[in-house]
Amino acid sequence: MVKQCAAAAVPLVLLLLGTGSSDAFTSSPVAHTSKQHRHSTLTMVATPEAPQVSSAAPLTMDEYSKYVQTTYGRYPLTIVRGKGCHLVDKDGKEYLDMVAGISTCALGHADPELTSAVSAQMSRMHHISNLYYIPEQGRLAKWLVENSCADRVFFCNSGAEANEAQIKLARKYAHTVLGLDLPVIITARQSFHGRTLATVTATGQPKYQKDFGPLPSGFEYVTYNDIDDLRATVKRINGRAKLRALLGLPKRGVAGILMEALQGEGGIVPATREFFAAVREICNETGALMMCDEVQTGMGRTGTIWGFENLGVEPDTFSSAKALGAGVPIGAMMCKAKCDVFKPGDHASTFGGNPLACAAGLVIANRISSGGLLTNVKARGEQLRAGLDRLLAKYPDHLKSKRGWGLINGLVIKDEVELLAGQVVAAATDGGLLLVPAGLKVVRYVPPLTVSEAEIDDALAKTDVAIAAAIARLREGAAK
């Protein structure tokens, strides 16, 4: 079903498969070697510029599709190496990377410090299980606690797993502390929390849930940034407690309210301070936990270490992943002492917080604490948004607005025009700039946090060319 022969096919691919997943954008295979040839070819020049990446040529797109399940709408691109904010495809074409593995490679590609820390850890000890004390895990947990409102940390491998852990923690807290039989977690429409059954249910977007029922119960949705809707929903769930008790019905109530400080996949929509203040207030009033999903916004992305810091409140629990390992898989769920209810055996993760992943986490933690990373995020974010304002002025018929914090920003296309984010992204890719849509109408910028002033200027210049090209393509299409 996927046409992969031309970049122009990309918007179609994204329309068919959906663009909003935290994982819809990936590199892909283009090559022309037979299976036999692939196995017999040992190539690669090992220079510092082009380290050996593989002993075999990449599979062709057809071969790739034969073996890999089609869960992603892939761009027709095979990336083979990178350095900083630059990536190189198999044909040697360079790309400026404003995607960073979807907000993940916070230190860019082939960062020397990350490379040496992970290599050193690999040669010392990379995995031993959580049957034993792990020095690197302890140090990373200490940093996370000292640099957030949390008191303790649970480690896992991904954002979905970290959110799953928050959900389980909130449910156990509800059963054991709040005395609820039927705990409910409230999330927002247009949110994105992951792909496991519980997190995809928490995700307030039916398109991700379709065909996966029966979904776990105990989730309700409100409109993001709508305080009245939230209050009414909480009241409805917690209401009639006395009547229910009288009738001997199980005790139902709100266990937690799970929100992103800024909705990433939902179109780069920041929460309002008023909304987060209301969430905090309602949680205090009812005893429910305030839960934050910091998977895309955490670890410096927004200019502060955690996204919720922009909103002036402290949650009771929150998750982290993506940038936490700067591209090495790791996730974490953090909580305040009052809801630290997990006991041995309650929850676990084989790979969670292993020495290799935590060594990577410690590199970015150290760069945030002493490397001026957040200063760069703030300055480059302002520079980018000023440049997006110039583009808004230049294309007033097509562009609507820009949104974002720090280095997570979206350029919003007008609803009433035909132009789609995927079309701008496809044109940008042709012009050597990698971007990723966040929904149908938002072009997302989530570059490495190390991005330079010159690279932001270059990204803006390339975006300008891409918008003009995408508009021209639409006109050509209409003229035919």
Q: How far apart are CA 349 and CA 381, in angstroms?
A: 36
User: Between 76 and 105, how does the x/- string for binding to ligand NAG read (CB under 6 A)?
Assistant: ------------------------------
Q: How far apart are CA 192 and CA 20, in angstroms?
A: 9
- In the complex with ligand NAG, the residue whose CB is nearer, 119 or 284, is 284
Minimum distance, C-beta of residue 275 to ligand NAG, in the bound complex (Å): 13
End-to-end distance of the chain based on CA atoms, in angstroms? 24
Minimum distance, C-beta of residue 339 to ligand NAG, in the bound complex (Å): 12
Cβ-based neighbour number of residue 190 at 10 Å: 19
Minimum distance, C-beta of residue 312 to ligand NAG, in the bound complex (Å): 10
Cβ-based neighbour number of residue 97 at 10 Å: 25
Q: How far apart are CA 246 and CA 240, in angstroms?
A: 10
430 near ligand NAG, judged by CB under 6 A: no
For ligand NAG, the nearest residue by Cβ is 284
Contacts of 203 (CB under 8 A, 6+ apart): 187, 191, 192, 193, 194, 209
- In the complex with ligand NAG, the residue whose CB is nearer, 280 or 462, is 280
- In the complex with ligand NAG, the residue whose CB is nearer, 337 or 393, is 337
- In the complex with ligand NAG, the residue whose CB is nearer, 229 or 281, is 281
Q: Angle at Cα 271 formed by Cα 267 and Cα 277, nearest 5°?
A: 165
Minimum distance, C-beta of residue 281 to ligand NAG, in the bound complex (Å): 4
User: Between 267 and 296, how does the x/- string for binding to ligand NAG read (CB under 6 A)?
Assistant: -------------xx--x------------
Minimum distance, C-beta of residue 280 to ligand NAG, in the bound complex (Å): 5
- In the complex with ligand NAG, the residue whose CB is nearer, 177 or 474, is 177
Give the chain's length.
480
Minimum distance, C-beta of residue 289 to ligand NAG, in the bound complex (Å): 11
> Could you write out the DSSP letters of every residue in 372-427?
-HHHHHHHHHHHHHHHHHHHHHH-TTTEEEEEEETTEEEEEEPTTSS--HHHHHHH
Contacts of 140 (CB under 8 A, 6+ apart): 153, 155, 353, 358, 361, 362, 365
- In the complex with ligand NAG, the residue whose CB is nearer, 231 or 400, is 231
The residues binding ligand NAG (CB under 6 A) are 280-281, 284
